[in-house]
Amino acid sequence: MALNLKAAGKRLALLRRMPSAAFLLQAGACSVVAWSLWHGGLTQPPSLTSVAAPAPTAPGTAPAAPATTVAPAMTLAAATPLADARAALSAVDVIVTRNDTLDHIFRRWKLNLSDLASMRSLPGVRANLDSLRPGELLHLWHKDGQLFGLERRLNESQTLKVSRDGDQLKADVVQNALDTRSRTVRGRIDSSLFEAVESAGAHDQTAVALADIFGWDIDFVLDVRPGDTFAVTYSEIWRDGKFVKDGPIEAAEFVNQGREFRAARYVDPDGESHYYTPDGRSMHKAFLRAPVEFTRVSSRFNSARLHPILNRIRAHKGVDYAAPIGTPVKAAGDGSIRFAGVMGGYGNVVEIEHSRSVMTVYGHLSRFARGTRVGAHVTQGTVIAYVGMTGLATGPHLHYEYRVNGVFKNPQTVPLPSAAPIDARYRDDFLARTAPLLATLDVPQGPMLVAR
């Protein structure tokens, strides 16, 4: 009997040390919560709502209806149904490569080609999908190869969105909200225009646009000097609080070796935009000062130059623009191609007749552009050939000549005929609109930004 009591006492002590059922239930609940948090958190089922207790009412009045509060998870689902739907889909970001097509992309990702056919049959979609640009990004959503969504940015202000609605695909062009901000920057050139514009806070595209505006009056390699200054008022394009790009220049000033040039952009009632001087003269000239995007001028107009190959004095009746082989060469003005072929020391050469008195010559070319042939009409800025070193050339460059009635003229200094001034019908409107733009170029108080 004593042994039985002793054994019973031991069993009772052991039971007292074991956790209670309540403790085990609490531990299990905590484990479930921890597992849920680890795997994405707890969410209330969409069908659940919390009902607030009705407030006390005064005697004789009808009780107020209970206030229904939607759970946070329900609010999120209602706000972004597309995002929740796409969460269950496979997302693909495609960077378009050269010669890529949607057919290639669908086959590469094993997507349903019938969806492609259905999508391309939608009104207005085919034109927006058949001209893919190398380097652009496409967003695709699919499930087991079936297309559920596609997004392509058409431009800065428009995005094409294709989505599935049941068994059908639908497409919409969504307008992207853009914010345009006007900005004025000033700078002084220390080494190059690009460095000065960057130091002032703008970007390369604004530097290029600035050179394009004044490119008929200033050779931005031969003529620009340290100490030259500029001021530019332009638009900045922003989207969703993020900078997108520099917009068009609205007004600009460039002081080159003491000569001041100013221009303002004017959009006429027909929607055409051009740049004019403050008094309405067109910045556009009949000929470009430089017919190629070059890195430096290797040889200027010189009537007594020692030829580097022939080793004798020989007039250099043009300008040599050193540039990498393959750099595009542009027609300096409108005209007809008089000759395109091989011509002695010029190597591959193109001659353009602009009028009965003016002709331009482009030599040492590596190859001709498509469409460059005798008799073809070209317009100013059209690419006619590419820089090379054919003929008597020690390195890749463009040899450019400007002839008037058969006489060689210095392309950098010859007077160039201007285009027509502002239409008389628009002159008053032009003066009223451009005056405040030009006023932004006036030097403010404070230090000038300098490129270093």
Tens of pLDDT along 381-392?
A: 999 999 999 998
What is the percentage of the chain residues whose pLDDT exceeds 90? 41
Tens of pLDDT along 143-175?
A: 999 999 999 988 877 888 999 988 889 988 888
Q: Quick one: 380 and 358 in the same domain?
A: yes
**Nearest Cα to 158, choosing from 125, 183, 134?**
125
Q: Quick one: 405 and 303 in the same domain?
A: yes
Is residue 392 within 8 A of residue 310, CB to CB? The reply is yes
Average of pLDDT values for 118-135?
Answer: 86
The answer to the question of residue 5 being in a domain is no
Q: Quick one: 260 and 353 in the same domain?
A: no
The answer to the question of residue 243 being in a domain is yes
Q: Quick one: 266 and 186 in the same domain?
A: yes
**Nearest Cα to 184, choosing from 250, 89, 111?**
250
Average of pLDDT values for 322-346?
Answer: 93
Q: Quick one: 219 and 236 in the same domain?
A: yes
Question: Among all chains, which residue has been given the structure tokens 């893919």?
Answer: 132
Is residue 249 within 8 A of residue 317, CB to CB? The reply is no
Dihedral angle, C-alpha 74, 75, 81, 86, nearest 10 °? -70
> Higher confidence at residue 451 or residue 437?
437
The answer to the question of residue 184 being in a domain is yes
Total domain count, the chain: 3
> What residues make up the domain containing 152?
84-175
- Using the predicted structure, report yes or no on whether residue 131 has a pLDDT greater than 50: yes
- Using the predicted structure, report yes or no on whether residue 127 has a pLDDT greater than 90: no
Q: Which of 175, 206, 238 is the last residue of a domain?
A: 175
- Using the predicted structure, report yes or no on whether residue 53 has a pLDDT greater than 50: no
Is residue 101 within 8 A of residue 110, CB to CB? The reply is no
* The two structure tokens encoding residue 146: 């079936």
Average pLDDT, the chain: 78
CATH number of the CATH domain containing 328: 2.70.70.10
The answer to the question of residue 22 being in a domain is no
Task: Look at 328-342, 364-378, 394-408 and tell me which has the smallest mean pLDDT.
Answer: 394-408
- Using the predicted structure, report yes or no on whether residue 80 has a pLDDT greater than 50: no
Q: In whole angstroms, what is the distance from residue 376 CA to residue 367 CA? A: 17
Q: Quick one: 340 and 317 in the same domain?
A: yes
Q: Quick one: 195 and 263 in the same domain?
A: yes
CATH number of the CATH domain containing 103: 3.10.450.350
Average of pLDDT values for 400-417?
Answer: 87
Q: Quick one: 249 and 145 in the same domain?
A: no
